[in-house]
Structure 1
Amino acid sequence: MSDTWRLWLHGVTRDRMPVTVAGVGDAPVRVVPAAGLCAYVSPAPDDVSGADALQARLEDPAWLAQTAFEHHRVVAELAAAGPVVPAGLATVYRDDTGLAVALDRYAAELVGTLDRVNGRTEWGVKGYVSDAPVTEPAAPEPAAGGPGAAYLQRRRAELSARERSHDDAVRDADAVHDALARLADAAHLHAPQDRRLTGEPEVMVLNGAYLVPDPAAEAFAAAVEALDARYPGITLRLTGPWPPYSFVPSIGARRPDHDPVPAGGPA
């Protein structure tokens, strides 16, 4: 029984907020008050009540996408009403008592975070290597050894040109991130996502998250558009607004390295 998790944590606020959407598994959301804070939970699904079972579910793409959506809709409603510390996907507790202990332990950090994200929103910027054709390398001198050797020489030249194009895109992505970080109150670089996760044909070279004051959101979007034009070697895509997933502390029991929201979100 001690290894059974009963609560799925969605997020923490300072003031109690109404929640009209369902939680994980379409279960109702309720509030656990502790340490002057409000934690929003729904019952953890029966099939993730232990560590092994939860890990197996997290490796199921269909389950992960649906659960991430159900988790995020609660966080998004809270964020629309005021500052929230979102819990990472699959932050689970055994019971109210265990959650209350964690809230008391992290209370000062949570309150500081709520103050820091108040009036600010997370925006994501993803950069992809543009699908513009790679400049054809100059035709090599005829190679000794016949057609086979000539083919291998052409392939080496093509691969070298593509590698240079990718390196240039990475440098452009670094420049874009530096420019956007100067416009934000905080910035975080996530690891680029694999094409199997993004569903995009191009390679991701930038996966940035930026905590932007709400009055500056329009100017930030304009800056992304300007940088997209300045660096034609990469394609920039702005996502958001999102709750501040990338700028909050871990809240206890479990916070795995999975995206906290469905594909297309900040991570």
Structure 2
Amino acid sequence: MRESDLRDAIAEMVRAEVKAIGDELAPVISEVVRAELMPALRAAIREAILRELSTYSGDADFREVSQGSVFSEPEKIKNVTAEAVAPETVPSNENGLYLYCIVDASVSTSLGHMGIDGCEVYTIPHEGVSAVVHSCPLEPYRSDDEETVKRWVKSHQEVVELAAERFGTVMPFGFDTIIMPKEFCTAEEVLKKWISDELDEIRAKMERIQGKKEYGIQIFYDPLVFTKRVEDESDDVRIIKEEMASKPPGIAYMYRQRLEAAVRRRMDELIGAYFKDFYERIQSNADDIKVEKVRKSDGDMVMMMNLSVLASDEKALGQALDGIAAEPGISVQFTGPWQPYSFV
């Protein structure tokens, strides 16, 4: 046999072997592509779309909206800085009103000097409800000192809690909600006009939250416990492990990629099933739920869900959470009760 014929024969054998290996690894490659490439590709496409939307100059207004927090801004009254008020329309000696909450009572009274920085807190009755306020300058409460901000927020909470004790149902507003004077109207006149315009909605919200409190619920899982469960209980993971044991090192590496992808997929399915189960258990003991953005935890546990919950029966809700916390590899953080900031 000539040397050239020998080279051709060897090349043909190599091509056949490569094809055989490719055919054998086709499921592995497909699995890796689905698990690794496609999610990254989808994420890149989403980011590209968001970049385009952010530069869109048409009539639509695209904004990134974060999940609510305990001190979420009210829907109808937004914080307005002093710079946003035209100086020629507002007298220099005019003050704004810092709004703590609306109470379901018509009463004109002082709650004392217990507001932020010791300001006197008082009520302004209108249309059968009352706003709990203090007079403030035409500028937001801002500080680079974290302790100062914490003190302000604590004072805000204390005023809202006292109002709830004194007057019953309260519709709380977020920290640093300031009513500004407008044109030839004082801040009090602006506030009263807003109450008149939104009275039906205010009463509907008060009726919905009456007798209820807000609770924060965070549920965490231990990834080591969940991974072991997947490896012990998943048939496809077991099969891949068995196949990998008989493969040479080069091919075994591809199988390890396939194994990791299978474990991640089963983990996602398991966490999804737990999320659905836990959510339904909580929902059966809640009047309303808001799913918040999950946050990175400090320890080894991973946050599975972060909920703001409106409920009237704290004991029943706590018992449901005790059952959830008893699940292997699961821990629960339960905070509250708070006034229902997230539900107004």
**TM-score above 0.5:** yes
The one-letter code of the counterpart of 1:13 is: V
For 2:165 and 2:136, locate their aligned partners in 1 and report how far apart those are by CA, in whole Å.
Answer: 24
CA 1:180–1:61 in 2, change beyond 3 Å: closer, same or farther? Answer: same
For 2:212 and 2:115, locate their aligned partners in 1 and report how far apart those are by CA, in whole Å.
Answer: 24
User: What's the counterpart of residue 3 of structure 1?
Assistant: 84
Alignment partner for residue 164 of structure 2, among 79, 84, 87? 79
User: What's the counterpart of residue 191 of structure 1?
Assistant: 292
For 1:77 and 1:247, locate their aligned partners in 2 and report how far apart those are by CA, in whole Å.
Answer: 19
Query: Which is greater in Rg?
Result: 2
Per the alignment, in what secondary structure is the counterpart of residue 238 of structure 1? strand
CA drift of 1:166 comes to 4.8
CA drift of 1:10 comes to 0.9
User: What's the counterpart of residue 207 of structure 1?
Assistant: 306
User: What's the counterpart of residue 31 of structure 2?
Assistant: none
Query: Is the 2:223–2:301 Cα contact (8 Å) retained in structure 1?
Result: yes
The one-letter code of the counterpart of 1:87 is: F
The one-letter code of the counterpart of 2:129 is: L
For 2:285 and 2:260, locate their aligned partners in 1 and report how far apart those are by CA, in whole Å.
Answer: 38
Q: Deviations over 1:85-127 (max 9, x none)?
A: 0112332211212111111111122122223322222223221
User: What's the counterpart of residue 9 of structure 2?
Assistant: none
- The answer on 1:93 being equivalent to 2:179 is yes
- The answer on 1:220 being equivalent to 2:310 is no
CA drift of 1:34 comes to 1.9
CA 1:125–1:244 in 2, change beyond 3 Å: closer, same or farther? Answer: same
The one-letter code of the counterpart of 1:237 is: Q
User: What's the counterpart of residue 241 of structure 1?
Assistant: 337
The one-letter code of the counterpart of 1:194 is: R
For 1:10 and 1:199, locate their aligned partners in 2 and report how far apart those are by CA, in whole Å.
Answer: 33
Alignment partner for residue 271 of structure 2, among 169, 172, 182? 169
5+ long unaligned stretches in structure 1: 49-53, 249-267
Per the alignment, in what secondary structure is the counterpart of residue 190 of structure 1? strand
User: What's the counterpart of residue 263 of structure 1?
Assistant: none
For 1:108 and 1:21, locate their aligned partners in 2 and report how far apart those are by CA, in whole Å.
Answer: 31
For 2:171 and 2:190, locate their aligned partners in 1 and report how far apart those are by CA, in whole Å.
Answer: 18
For 1:233 and 1:21, locate their aligned partners in 2 and report how far apart those are by CA, in whole Å.
Answer: 48
- Richer in helix (by share): 2
Q: Please give the TM-score of this superposition, normalised by the length of structure 2.
A: 0.56
For 2:301 and 2:137, locate their aligned partners in 1 and report how far apart those are by CA, in whole Å.
Answer: 36
Query: Is the 2:214–2:341 Cα contact (8 Å) retained in structure 1?
Result: yes
CA 1:77–1:173 in 2, change beyond 3 Å: closer, same or farther? Answer: farther
For 2:148 and 2:266, locate their aligned partners in 1 and report how far apart those are by CA, in whole Å.
Answer: 39
- The answer on 1:13 being equivalent to 2:103 is yes
The one-letter code of the counterpart of 1:100 is: K
CA 1:46–1:237 in 2, change beyond 3 Å: closer, same or farther? Answer: same
CA drift of 1:21 comes to 6.9
CA drift of 1:227 comes to 2.7
CA drift of 1:58 comes to 9.2
Compute the RMSD of aligned alpha carbons. Answer: 3.5
- The answer on 1:70 being equivalent to 2:155 is yes
Q: Deviations over 1:14-72 (max 9, x none)?
A: 22476457333443322222222111123456652xxxxx7xx5998666544433322
5+ long unaligned stretches in structure 2: 1-81, 86-94, 181-186, 232-237
The one-letter code of the counterpart of 1:102 is: W
User: What's the counterpart of residue 253 of structure 1?
Assistant: none
For 2:207 and 2:172, locate their aligned partners in 1 and report how far apart those are by CA, in whole Å.
Answer: 14
CA drift of 1:165 comes to 3.0
The one-letter code of the counterpart of 1:206 is: M
Q: Please give the TM-score of this superposition, normalised by the length of structure 1.
A: 0.69
- The answer on 1:115 being equivalent to 2:210 is no
For 1:166 and 1:80, locate their aligned partners in 2 and report how far apart those are by CA, in whole Å.
Answer: 45
CA drift of 1:11 comes to 0.5
Query: Is the 1:124–1:207 Cα contact (8 Å) retained in structure 2?
Result: yes
CA 1:247–1:59 in 2, change beyond 3 Å: closer, same or farther? Answer: farther
CA drift of 1:162 comes to 5.1
For 2:272 and 2:279, locate their aligned partners in 1 and report how far apart those are by CA, in whole Å.
Answer: 11
CA drift of 1:193 comes to 3.5
Query: Is the 2:223–2:302 Cα contact (8 Å) retained in structure 1?
Result: no
CA drift of 1:128 comes to 1.5
CA 1:85–1:153 in 2, change beyond 3 Å: closer, same or farther? Answer: same
Q: Which has the higher contact order (CA 8 A, sep 6+)?
A: 1
